[in-house]
Structure 1
Amino acid sequence: MLRALLSALPLCCALLPGLGLAALPVPTDNTPVLRIQGSNTINAQLGPALIEGLMHEQGLKSLQILPGAQPNEVRVTGVTPAGQSVTAEVAAHGSGTGFTALKAGRADIAASSRPIKDQEALELTSLGNLKSPEGEQVIAIDGVAVILHPSNPLQQLTTAQLARLFSGEVQNWQEIGGRPGEVHLYARDEKSGTYETFKELILARNDKSLSRHAKRFESSEQLSDEVSQDRNGIGFIGLPYVRKAKAVAIADGDSKPMLPTTSLIATEDYPLSRRLYLYQPPQAKRPWAQELVNFAQSPEGQAIVARNGFVAQTVQAMKVQATPRMPEDYQALTRHAERLSVNFRFAQGSARLDNKAQLDLQRVVEYLKTHEKLNRSLTLVGFGDAKHDSERATLLSRLRAMAVRRELQKNRVSCCEILGFGDEMPVAANDADEGRIKNRRVEVWVQ
């Protein structure tokens, strides 16, 4: 595939000396090899770090991350063994700006901390299907943390309380059990994917709008630092930017309160967990863009994801503590097996595994091979939602687990047992599609 891409390049590009056919082309006219625009959550740190990692893998030296032409923009630079300069440009002005830049031809990749909207995908159909596995890549999992001043005594909030707080309906902390004091709101700006996620999961779902009194920020770091200095402040932020503030546990519907911990975010059980995406036009791929996507999914790329404070998609086994709220069979499972840090989820309105789950299949298989567990007892545990009656939910939860088993069997992984718990143990409220989709999940347990 790379040979075909290289053969289609104009004559202005030359291969990196001494690195053979696997090397990526470098323009001789000093134009950027890669342009990424979009999410501040991704491009403030993670995007440049992934590019730097790719450049290092390509044998470039003297790597630097330098300020760009505008605030929240950087250039990642390196030098080939032959002395050629290589530059990539990264702009972090919000997820929506990435799709605008793709449409205008000013970017090769859009970085987004939310899924592409139907209208955005429609406007970019000339570049291919950006919702396809080739166009949409989940590179990390993040949690939108709700942050308070460290001295605020509140330890948990519900999604309904968050909606009342950020809409301005609750104006004094005493109204929700806190100490007396006027609530001060801090929020990301309109172009931010973090704001889009919070608006969709919290405000819109509760028919509320953000209070006009909220202070808005383009910079994640600045927002967090201001909350950490305001005893009455509350804000929301991507997980790596909690900094000196205090994150609180969040409960959604009948779910238990959950802190934004690595394990709960990895499985996407945490109510405000979200996926971080790179969108690459399938019909307009450039070699550096394609290789960056590949690198981000590699073990080396996922290690960079973790170092930058996000949750990598690397599969790990974890012990789960039994609680009285768990079904008896589930409690038994916790005593003799470990849960893998991945949940399989499905495309909306479909029995097809979503784009992330299709890659997770390979990650699970690789984990089982690496840890010599291919022949160990494997249990797939399906869950559903309460949209229909409980018996139907139980049946559908088993069918989802069976769908994952079929895919694993194609990779010569045999599963010993299928369990279906229907609408038990919800991780989200069932009153909206977003919550129901999160509840329709399949866990993987291995002995």
Structure 2
Amino acid sequence: MNKAFRISGLILGAVLALGQLQAAGAEEVKFAGAASVVTDLVAPHKAQVEKTTGIKLVVDKSNAGKGLIDLIDGNCDAAMASASLDATLAAAKSAGLKKPVPDLKLQVISKSEVVFIVHPSNPVTKLTWEQIKEIHTGKIVNWKEVGGKDLPITVYTDAKASATRGLIKQTVLANAEYAASAKAVDYVKDVNDKVALDPSGIGGLGSGFVDAGKVVVVGTKKLERPLGFITVGEPSAKVRKVMEAFKAASR
């Protein structure tokens, strides 16, 4: 009986060792960058994509600008981007990109929406893009100017290296600069949390980060943005395989 157990133990050990060797030799694809891509695209489908492709996904969540720098520095296989290539590149320059820009390719996998939020006590529930622009650039500084309370406006924005901030600047602000008084946060989710605590606050962020129980989404023109991956040149075979699997999973 003891001998049989020993043999079974040896067999089990061999199987486990083989599994570990196979796992160690498994292909990997490393992504770095936009938190919005992680929340809205990668996290919901990661397990399915790994199962479909047999490729392990290593995900470094930060922001689009840092992700693009990581790509150019060779620290990842693809950068996660939540805005156009131009907006993402601008975010990378804000994050300190100094190197020459290589041939970058953006593969759009899906889309999501950027929205603007206010505190639940704020009676202003609709704004035009022009009003949002003037609020973010400092031309409108009090809520009473747009039908609200006599209360100074506080603008919260994602980090300067964020593609979401870059997209808002490019699309809604028509490339005008944010007011110097705008408060940049470290992480995009912090925009929701800051506005939830501040009756004077407003901020733009991906819809996936909105906590509907704590803030109110302002009615305005729809602002869509791409979610995808950037590579230097055409993606490698394994990266392309993963991209195609994400496309299929997100349909």
Which TM class, normalised by the smaller chain length?
A: 0.7 to 0.9
Q: CA RMSD in A?
A: 2.7
Conserved? CA contact 1:48–1:90, under 8 Å: no
Aligned residue identity for 1:275: P
For 1:117 and 1:234, how far apart are their aligned partners in 2? 25
For 2:233 and 2:62, how far apart are their aligned partners in 1? 23
For 2:216 and 2:135, how far apart are their aligned partners in 1? 17
Conserved? CA contact 1:33–1:87, under 8 Å: yes
Cα drift, residue 26 of structure 1: 5.5
Cα drift, residue 212 of structure 1: 1.8
Normalised TM-score (structure 2): 0.77
For 1:247 and 1:208, how far apart are their aligned partners in 2? 23
Aligned residue identity for 1:166: H
- Give deviations 1:171-199, integer Å, cap 9, x for gaps: 21001111111111110011111001001
Partner of residue 93 from structure 1, selected from 57, 62, 87:
62
Which residues of 2 match residues 378-397 of structure 1 at below 5 A?
Answer: none
Conserved? CA contact 1:37–1:43, under 8 Å: no
Distance 1:209 1:58, change over 3 A: closer
Conserved? CA contact 2:32–2:70, under 8 Å: yes
Q: 2:101 matched to which residue of 1?
A: 123
Q: 2:7 matched to which residue of 1?
A: none
Q: 2:50 matched to which residue of 1?
A: 55
For 2:53 and 2:226, how far apart are their aligned partners in 1? 28
Does residue 34 (structure 1) correspond to residue 4 (structure 2)? The answer is no
Q: 2:227 matched to which residue of 1?
A: 276
Which residues of 2 match residues 3-402 of structure 1 at below 5 A?
Answer: 27-28=24-25, 33-44=28-39, 46-57=41-52, 88-117=57-86, 123-125=101-103, 130=105, 136-203=106-173, 205=174, 208-243=176-211, 244-251=214-221, 270=222, 272-283=223-234, 285-287=236-238, 289-298=239-248, 301-302=249-250, 314=251
For 2:201 and 2:129, how far apart are their aligned partners in 1? 17
- Give deviations 1:208-245, integer Å, cap 9, x for gaps: 32122222123222220221221111010101112131
Aligned residue identity for 1:37: A
Q: Which has the higher contact order (CA 8 A, sep 6+)?
A: 2
For 2:144 and 2:207, how far apart are their aligned partners in 1? 27
Give the 3-state SS of the residue equivalent to 1:296 in structure 2. helix
Cα drift, residue 159 of structure 1: 1.1
Which one has a larger percent helix, Structure 1 or Structure 2? 2
Which residues of 2 match residues 409-424 of structure 1 at below 5 A?
Answer: none
> Structure 2: which 5+ residue stretches go unaligned?
1-17, 90-99
Conserved? CA contact 2:32–2:61, under 8 Å: yes
Cα drift, residue 105 of structure 1: 1.3
Cα drift, residue 27 of structure 1: 4.7
Cα drift, residue 292 of structure 1: 1.6
Distance 1:26 1:56, change over 3 A: same
Cα drift, residue 91 of structure 1: 1.8
